[in-house]
Amino acid sequence: MIPNCMSEGAVTMATEEETMTAAGNGPREWATRMLAPGHAVILDTETSDLDGSILEVAVIDAATGAVLLDTLVDPGDVQIHPAAATVHGISAAQLIGAPDWPTVFSALAAVTADRVVLAYNAEFDQSRIPHDCHRHGLDPCTWPTPSGGDAS
């Protein structure tokens, strides 16, 4: 069973409505804070299927657009669902020689440390990262959960 880091107070995740409510003077103020240099990063993942393992992780600086992490991930013996491959175009052959999840998670934790992590589909990414951490015996509560939340 995957622990709920949110209930343990380690990380937070906000709904879109909570994000807008927490934005003080509204979305513009929130966006200005998120786009301050060094404040936030934007995360995207690609997976083997909707309930599967992460195949690719990308993180960019929200203010500058600088790529902080962009790597394929070797999912081990996990098969890529054909529908997922159609969406992201990643094949098993492309994953040969890619780093494993423990290596990528270490890099992910480093580039997201002390930063707000934003993601278009934060709830999905929130579910996949702990999934892969638990597959490899890692503590998923050691990194900031993707959100649109009010982190100052």
Q: Is residue 6 part of a domain?
A: no
Q: How many domains does the chain have?
A: 1
Strands 54-61 and 40-47: antiparallel
- Cα angle 140, 27, 57; round to 5: 30
Q: Is residue 89 part of a domain?
A: yes
Q: Is residue 14 predicted with pLDDT exceeding 50?
A: no
Q: Is residue 120 part of a domain?
A: yes
Q: Is residue 91 part of a domain?
A: yes
Q: Is residue 83 part of a domain?
A: yes
Q: pTM to 2 decimals?
A: 0.76
* The pLDDT value given to residue 142: 66
Residue 35 belongs to domain spanning: 16-142
CATH of the domain at 20: 3.30.420.10
Q: Is residue 104 predicted with pLDDT exceeding 50?
A: yes
* The pLDDT value given to residue 98: 97
Q: Is residue 45 predicted with pLDDT exceeding 50?
A: yes
Q: Is residue 3 part of a domain?
A: no
Q: Is residue 70 part of a domain?
A: yes
User: pLDDT digits over 106-121, tens only?
Assistant: 999 999 988 888 888 8
**Which residues neighbour 16 within 8 Å (Cβ) at sequence distance 6 or greater?**
148
User: pLDDT digits over 53-66, tens only?
Assistant: 999 999 999 999 99
Q: Is residue 149 part of a domain?
A: no
* The pLDDT value given to residue 54: 93
Q: CA 100 to CA 4: how far, in whole Å?
A: 24
* The pLDDT value given to residue 141: 72
